[in-house]
Chains A and B, each alone.
Chain A
Amino acid sequence: MGTAMHEPRRDACPRRADAAAWALGRLDGRAARHLARCAECAAEAKAVRETVRRVRAVPLREPSPGLTARIMQALPAAEAARPRFRFAFHPVRAAAAAALLLALGVAILTIPRVQHRRQTAAVAHRQRLDRQAGEAAVWIAAQQEADGTWRPSRTGGNDAYRPAVTALAILALQQQAPEAQAGAIRRGVSALVAMQTAEGAFCRTSGARLYNHAFAANALFALPERLAREPAVRTARERALAFSLAAQNPQGAWDYTAEGPGNTALSIWQIALLTQARGQGWNDDRGHLRRSLAWLQRQSDGRTFGYRQAGVLPPGGAGGLTLTAMAAATLLDAARAYPALLPAAETAADALRQPRFRDETEVPDYYRDYFLARVSAGIADQHALDEIQARLARAPAAGGAGGAHWVANDAWRQAGGDLYATSLALLSPRTGRLS
């Protein structure tokens, strides 16, 4: 259709393109003289001028009143988050600065050079991570206890989270070295199943119960089919799922107590479990998963996800980035089954690009970066993944028996220790799903 529209007439004046230039006032004297002599071009020019007038008569959209302030506020944060743009700032006087910016031209060729440098660094980080990941899997296996569990206090964590850390270690080994560490994985799974209580949970300590339960149950649902088919594992999975369903409140959420209104972080881990179960054939005929996803969406104020209610973060105000990354990753996963969730998932993923969140990534946090990496992989944002990998590559590593591993230096180190940090580093995707 477009081709037919552009097909030149054989008898058309070859200089008709000057008509548009004339209408835009960009014509030299020679072309102007041609227009004065050629009736066809003159008619064309007149029509084009009318189109230009009509187009320019449409009023411009006004920016919102706060746009300038938002941009100016974003500048220092953006500067801090993008070291590749750092360079010395000449002390140009204020009055001359705007004129200078307006007058000076560009070094266009610097753009591809900067991009090339960035890509080279990203490849180096990925290679380093791949190397370290291989050693880290050996290190994780070497930390396994005789009973098949992984004990957090061995690497600086708290043994109240033994089921969770055992689950993380199993997941990490399954991801990184399923064949080489098949024995360690199998012993870990048996130990996990043995930890399950009569209620179907994986922990008796009330404060740590739901996290332990969710990590352990998620690990069991992530096992390869040959392990998942084993009767003991199959039964453990069914009982674990039943416990989670029974713990859900009428609003569709989970909380530390049955009376709690719902806790976003806790609920997200349970939603992840239900999403996995659904993907493996569990029939949500009672609407547990749908209710929980509806509840999760209500925790957003449009940009950030709250801790217990929309717009409200945990005491201290930090954690908005982590919660939003957790929600975005969860919604992206669930959107594979419920495509109607995609707009909400994309909104949550977009919210992660808010300039105010850039400061939060300056603080080390393997847990946050694990979710950020999942989101980035989910939307195939390789640039964001590169930034996360750069942080992981710079994170402190230690040698020791069995190989290099990541050292926990974040807010969760007292709970999970180095085993937690190393497992999550291994579980963080290194490439986008679709790239």
Chain B
Amino acid sequence: MLLAGAGQHAAFERLVRRHQQPLLNFFLRSGVDWDAEDLVQQTFIRLYGYRQRYRPRAKFTTFLYLLARQVWIDELRRRRRRQRLREQAREQAELAAAAAPAVADAGFSDELQQALGRLSPRHREVVVLGVLQELEYAEIARILKIPVGTVKSRMFNGLRDLRRHLESDGHSDA
């Protein structure tokens, strides 16, 4: 394989610098509570692998978040497998006192994060992509592979629920 020349490498680095913060926050707001930067890195590695396959059919951010979402789905699958392992281990445990401590939430701890966490996954991803990442409805529809009308209704319901959660959190804090 021909190695990327210094010029292409520098161009990719600019791309990384430009998109790493939005991507990091995408993962954090999507509920990543462990090493979100690792997922950012994985997304860029996948992007690098696909850099030759772009076709001028869609916006770059659509592809980037499509990859990011796939990285996140893969991570969730890994976690589910581990959860099964954890449960299996617990069943076999002879020492009840040695129960595994819950994994600490290493992500955002603000009230927005908590309110986002209470949304259904379908609403949450639409809100994160549309409100926080400021993607257009058409882009979100392509990334999630759903009609634009569905994006619209999920966004409405998601924001309405989010508002309620934020308000109820505010009251409970008071």
**Chain A residues engaging chain B, CB cutoff 8 angstroms:** 2, 5-6, 16-21, 23-24, 26, 44, 47-48, 50-52, 54-56, 58, 60-64, 67-68, 70-72, 74-76, 78-79, 82, 85-98, 100-108, 110-111, 332, 335-340, 342-343, 346, 350, 355, 378-381, 432-435
Contacts and interface: CB of A to CB of B under 8 A. Distances in A.
Contacts of B5: 89, 91, 94
Given A24-B131, A98-B14, A105-B58, A378 B160 contact: no
Nearest to B63: A106
Contact of A343 (B21, B55, B101): B101
B86 A339 contact: yes
A103 B93 CA distance: 55
B12 A336 contact: no
Given A17-B153, A20-B152, A88-B1, A97 B11 contact: yes
A98 B15 contact: yes
A247 B6 CA distance: 56
A88 B85 contact: no
A95 B101 CA distance: 51
Given A17-B153, A103-B60, A434-B84, A340 B99 contact: yes
Contact of A89 (B4, B35, B156, B166): B4
A108 to B, nearest CB: 7
Given A55-B132, A101-B15, 12 more contacts: A16-B156, A47-B163, A67-B40, A71-B41, A71-B45, A79-B1, A92-B8, A98-B12, A103-B56, A105-B63, A342-B89, A378-B85
At the interface, is chain B mostly helix, strand, loop or mixed? helix
A63 B40 contact: yes
Nearest to B163: A51
12 contacts: A61-B21, A61-B28, A63-B20, A76-B3, A79-B49, A87-B1, A89-B52, A336-B92, A339-B90, A380-B81, A380-B84, A435-B81
Given A79-B48, A105-B54, A63 B24 contact: yes
B147 interface: no
Contact of B98 (A18, A108, A340): A340
Contacts of A97: 7-8, 10-12
Contacts, number: 243
B161 interface: yes
B63 to A, nearest CB: 4
Interface residues of B, number: 87
Contact of A61 (B58, B59, B60, B108): B108
B55 A107 contact: yes
B41 A70 contact: yes
A372 to B, nearest CB: 16
B16 interface: yes
A62 B21 CA distance: 6
Interface string B87-109: 01110111100111101000010
A106 B110 CA distance: 35
The 3 closest A-B pairs by CB, nearest first: A94-B7, A97-B11, A104-B54
Contact of B21 (A18, A63, A340, A381): A63
Interface string B27-56: 010000001010011001100111111111
A339 B24 contact: no
